[in-house]
Chains A and B, each alone.
Chain A
Amino acid sequence: MSILEDTDAAAVAAAFVDARRAAGSPAMDMVMTMVIVVPEDVAEDALHAARDASKEHPSRRLGVILGSKRGPSRIDADIKAGSGTTGERALMRLTGEVVEHPESVVLPLLLPDSPVVVWWPTAAPEDPASDPLGRLGSRRITDAAQAPRARSKALLTQCHSYAPGNTDLAWTRITPWRALLATAMDDVEEKVRAISVSAEHVSPSADLLGAWLTDRLKAPVTRKRSRGPGITEVVLTTRSGDIRVSRKDGRLATLSVPGQPDRPVALRRRGIVELLTEELRRLDPDDVYAATVRRLRRDAARSQGAG
């Protein structure tokens, strides 16, 4: 690890090359740059998660901590590359005036040609695609469930500013639910007439799951409150009975389909590394997410109009 105090992007870039050379392999087999915009207290955790996800997608990881705008402009960086990690990383702390221009620090450090992913592990800008750092990326990842303020509104805010390439980890979290529900519906010929999704009070994932189901199945959705953890039950009502997935403990679910035996299905809540890994697998816009976001926005506007 090398520590650079009061530095700039050129020195960070040189440190990357030095570290790689010192490790004896100047070749780069990294496939993307990941920019992680993160507060100091969770920076290490976030960079570790990004490193683990990097095993599947070797990347250059640039952590950016935007500090106080007061005082003289200054950048401090610590850099790890070469031995014992895949890809390489720099964690950069910005203070003073440069906080207003973080893209000028990151731009020279992007890998040539390769895609750029920007991830906000906690607080995210209201409009990631027009954020100075967000603009550098073709993929922008937010996490409404980790928003430090106004958590119940965070997802809707992201939906309103949706731009192709944006996704929220609340969406990633429900992939196993969606996969299971899709599998359950493979054998169902009938139309679903009503949908209900039960989850803890604030659950952006439940909101997205409801929106996806109602968008695909063209049936009304009811959002029910439970004690969690996370999503606890989804019921799809058809003429011949309910298709039900219920999960009380955040681990093991029971699938019930009319005319078929009940079956246990592992449906664990996944950790951040798995979520990131899934996100990084595709770097093009997620059309299904876009449609779901549109639906959520419309339904929210309608319910507001009604209420």
Chain B
Amino acid sequence: MSRNPLRDPNDRRLPAVAGPCGMVIFGVTGDLARKKLMPAVYDLANRGLLPPGFSLVGFARRDWEDQDFAQVVHDAVKEHARTEFREEVWDQLAEGVRFVPGNFDDDEAFDRLRQTIHELDELRGTRGNHAFYLSIPPRFFGDVIGKLKKHGLAEERPGTWRRVVIEKPFGHDLASARELNDVLSEVFPAESVFRIDHYLGKETVQNILAMRFANMMFEPLWNSNYVDHVQITMAEDIGIGGRAGYYDGIGAARDVIQNHLLQLLALTAMEEPTSFDARSLRIEKLKVLESVTLPRRLDRATARGQYAAGWAGGVKVPGYHEEPDIPADSRTETYAALRLEVDNRRWSGVPFYLRTGKRLGRRVTEVAIQFKRAPHLPFRREATETLGANALVVRVQPDEGVTLRFGSKVPGTHMEIRDVNMDFAYGGSFTEASPEAYERLILDVLLGEPPLFPRHEEVEQSWRILDPVMEHWAERGKPELYPAGTWGPASSDAMLARDGRAWRRP
């Protein structure tokens, strides 16, 4: 393609707008599609980031016409979009909305889908570029992918692209992750498969990289000489809600540690990439994940729990077993914690503690770097009695930002030193430039920019790490109960206490 004279790398006002394309969403009646995907598409259009002629095709087992689906999109957008609803943006989008009714095993429906896409190429100028978003239960991935192949929907003609987007979970263990990948890779090349981990679309996650590699003052401390240990937490205050079908049998470790927490660990622990392109980032993430090892005694380095009825934030809430559709004997853990080590020169001897759970004290995700104590304190012992260790906390959500915790003299006459917090929060979260993670990710899919998407090798590594833990737990009966609204089971606190440490209260 010849160079477009209106484009100039120095012109930093011009946003990256995706080239002509469309998106097909499978499972448009689902929660994710209504609450996140369709609103994100609108928000992107409102910010002027979608190409003119962008088209949105819905696929579901409903007897709908295009207009019925347009109404569904309209309602979803009105209710859930982040940016203001504007008629003209809607007019732009609505013209490209199509619906294809059908089941996942219905050849006729996929043939109609092929025709629809073809028509859009003619009528809307989408030029054969289409992304297929599988917002459906993972057990149907195989069916849909198979049909896409059979009906020639996955074929890229020269100068066009076809991409597929899948949501976690990426399998439930190493073997099933490989199976899933076999299905995908038979039809789509690796660079056309986008695995969504919406956590990686968050500003702060990218900010970890900016903080580490754009500054002079953190990186020299970022190693076992100064760091005592690292705590990575993702806590939710809610229970499983109505998602028993999805959650039961999966549990906290597979749902959160396998993807989000291990990705956070990778970004925190990895070496500096040679550049910020997708490939260099992936190489470093993969390298550090390969260095992650589990302790030998899993009984002493892991903890799990299940929430029992209790009071959470002033509200009486049911326990896991009382949630609708949860079998009385379910052993699914709603809390999981483990200690990992990173066997390389930088991190040797520095434990990484990961924990996640539902119905915990409050909703928070953070990465806390806990530093060692100063080797010598030239103060009287009483002066530093309340002094803890320094900490650097990257707050991922809510209230994204960075906290630095260090000792400072208490004002007054005595020499007394106490911990203080220095907080940074960059701007409000309601602004245009701080988009919902799905906006960022969908745009990246359409632009074909994969730096934020985990590749299959990373998924495999994370199951390699997690599988032994899951097997260990499977042989060990029931998880320990913890009252809803607290910070998890006692065994988890004991696990840190054995190492002479304690969980932060985030």
Contact = CB atoms under 8 A, between A and B. Distances in A.
Q: Which of B46, B48, B89 has the most CB of A within 10 A?
A: B48
A267 B428 CA distance: 26
Contact of B95 (A29, A213, A264): A264
Contact of B124 (A27, A263, A268): A263
Contact of A288 (B13, B125, B423, B428): B13
Nearest to A249: B88
Interface string B99-115: 00000000000000000
Interface string B408-441: 0000000000000011111110111110000000
A185 B6 contact: yes
A278 B13 contact: yes
A266 B5 contact: no
B123 A182 contact: no
Contacts, number: 123
A262 B19 CA distance: 16
B431 A261 contact: no
B10 A264 contact: no
The main secondary structure of chain B at its interface with chain A is: loop
Given A56-B431, A175-B13, A278-B13, A266 B6 contact: no
Contacts of B95: 263-264
A274 interface: yes
B274 interface: no
A178 B427 contact: no
Contacts of B19: 183, 186
Contact of A178 (B14, B52, B53, B124): B14
B391 interface: no
Contacts of B433: 56, 277, 281
Given A260-B125, A266-B86, A57 B52 contact: no
A251 interface: yes
B92 A179 contact: no
Contacts of A185: 4-7
Given A178-B13, A178-B14, A180-B52, A268 B86 contact: yes
A296 to B, nearest CB: 16
Contact of B48 (A86, A176, A186, A192): A176
A27 B408 CA distance: 14
Nearest to B425: A29
B405 to A, nearest CB: 13
A41 interface: no
A187 B124 CA distance: 14
Contacts of B46: 266
A24 to B, nearest CB: 12
A56 B14 contact: no
Contacts of A187: 20
Contact of A255 (B5, B48, B52, B434): B52
A165 interface: no
Interface in A207-246: 213, 216-218
Interface string A152-191: 0000000000000000000010011011111111111100
A192 B2 CA distance: 13
Contact of A251 (B13, B88, B125): B88
Interface in B5-24: 5-8, 10-15, 17, 19-20
B124 A261 contact: yes
A287 interface: yes
A61 B401 CA distance: 22
A55 B431 contact: yes
Interface residues of B, number: 46
A210 B91 CA distance: 28
Interface residues on A, range: 35 or more
B231 to A, nearest CB: 23
B10 A266 contact: no
Nearest to A282: B12
Given A178-B13, A186-B4, A263-B53, A55 B92 contact: no
A58 interface: yes
Contacts of A264: 52, 88, 91-92, 95
A227 B369 CA distance: 61
B97 interface: no
A57 B427 contact: yes
Contacts of B424: 29
A300 interface: no
B426 A29 contact: yes
A57 B89 CA distance: 26
A266 B88 contact: yes
A258 B2 CA distance: 17
B52 A189 contact: no
Contacts of B430: 55
Interface string B139-166: 0000000000000000000000000000
B427 A216 contact: no
A292 to B, nearest CB: 10
A265 interface: yes
A107 interface: no
Contacts of B51: 183
B4 to A, nearest CB: 5
A213 B4 CA distance: 12
Interface string B117-133: 00000111100000000
Contacts of A263: 52-53, 92, 95, 124-125
B45 interface: yes
Contacts of A261: 53, 122-125
15 contacts: A29-B423, A56-B427, A56-B431, A56-B433, A56-B434, A180-B52, A252-B92, A261-B122, A264-B52, A265-B92, A266-B92, A277-B433, A282-B12, A286-B12, A288-B8
Given A29-B426, A252-B91, A265-B52, 5 more contacts: A56-B433, A182-B7, A186-B4, A282-B12, A286-B13
Shortest beta-carbon contacts, A-B, top 7: A55-B428, A56-B431, A252-B88, A182-B6, A266-B89, A251-B88, A266-B88
